[in-house]
Amino acid sequence: MVNRLNIVLRFSLILFGVAAMPGVSLAVIHAINLDLGIDTQQSLIPGYNNLTGPALTEPTTTLNLIDIFGAATGITLTPTWSAMDNDTGVALPAANFQGRYPDEIPGIAQSALRDNVWVRDGQSLTLTLNNLPANTAYNFLFYGAAGETSTGDYSLWTVTGSNSGSDFIVPLVANHTQVATVNGILPNANNRITVRFEGRRPDGTPQLPGVNDDGLGRFNYMRILEHSSIAGDFDANGVVNDADYTTWRSDFGRLAHTTGADGNHNGVVDAADYVLWRKGMTAGGGGAGASSDSTLSVPEPHAAALVGALVLSCCGFRVRRRCRLPR
């Protein structure tokens, strides 16, 4: 009886976690939330990590990251500030932005979105992710914003492992429409990935030497999706088989920061990812797939368009066109 109760409770927790983070595919190994900002506005509900401290300080505590279900991931995050002075740190509550927030991050706690840390005058914050497992890739989503009465120029994030990518948000004041995304980053030989955050002038150029309070960036929230790096392994179980086709088909048309089925990291799950799955089946012998070709098909364009239109009309998703792809 106790075992049955535990199973029911665990299943309920999983359902709650998925409902609290809409759009995250079950193919993802871990989905991780990080709240950055002042320590009086931490996200204390289950499933959030907090990089916080008193206003105008630079928190340096290494975090043992948990996923959205509260489970340990084995990944650590270490923050490093390029300067420990008044050009970096935790923002005052006066800089809070109370929303509304971008449609790409539904269900995220306001406590994780409204407050921020900041850098300016050529300084930066680096987040180092350690102990990343083999056969994994990572999709990142970033959000930065400041209240209408606060200054905020341009936030730039550069993610580096064995490959790299970057994206930015501008402007930051009252930002209710933009997120930045970097997809498909692989750990380096030391099983690490670094995220470098910096502020720039509104036109994207670096701070001007000798100009004070120039090039300000804001960083409020980060989401990490950990998924399989094996081509075609969309359900993240370490093998490529018919179950991955099912995952790909169910996620067809979805954005990369909500699923691990974007195998070519072009920002969306599409027919090109089906090609990767077929190649993965061939490389692995293609046993199951070869026997079921007659039942496997790419979603018809008109059907996909109808599904996409329905999702967009219901959820108000906005696809970012300027995302920097990994290089």
Mind listing the pLDDT tens digit for each residue in 183-196?
999 999 999 999 99
Q: What is 218-260 written as a DSSP string? A: EE-EEEEEEEE-STT-TT-SSS-SHHHHHHHHHHTT-BGGG-S
Q: Where are the domains of the chain?
A: 2-228, 242-315
Q: Which two tokens stand for residue 165?
A: 């990518």
- Which are the contacts of 116, defined by CB distance < 8 A and separation ≥ 6? 36, 37, 91, 95, 144, 145, 146, 218, 219, 220
Residues 78-131 have pLDDT tens digits of 999 999 999 999 999 999 999 999 999 999 999 999 999 999 999 999 999 999
For residue 60, what pLDDT band results from cuts at 50, 70 and 90?
very high
Quote the percentage of the chain above a pLDDT of 90.
57
- As a whole number of angstroms, the distance between CA 111 and CA 109 comes to 5
Pinpoint the alpha helices (H) of 142-181: none
Residues 208-257 have pLDDT tens digits of 988 998 999 999 999 999 998 888 888 777 788 888 888 888 889 887 77
Pinpoint the alpha helices (H) of the chain: 2-20, 110-113, 242-251, 271-283, 287-291, 301-315
Question: Counting beta carbons within 10 angstroms of the beta carbon of residue 49, is it exposed (0 to 12), middle (13 to 18) or buried (19 or more)?
Answer: buried
Helix 271-283 with 242-251: angle, nearest 10 deg: 170
Instruction: Give the pLDDT of residue 80.
Output: 98
Three-state secondary-structure class, residue 142 = strand
pTM over 0.75: yes
Residues 24-36 have pLDDT tens digits of 555 789 999 999 9
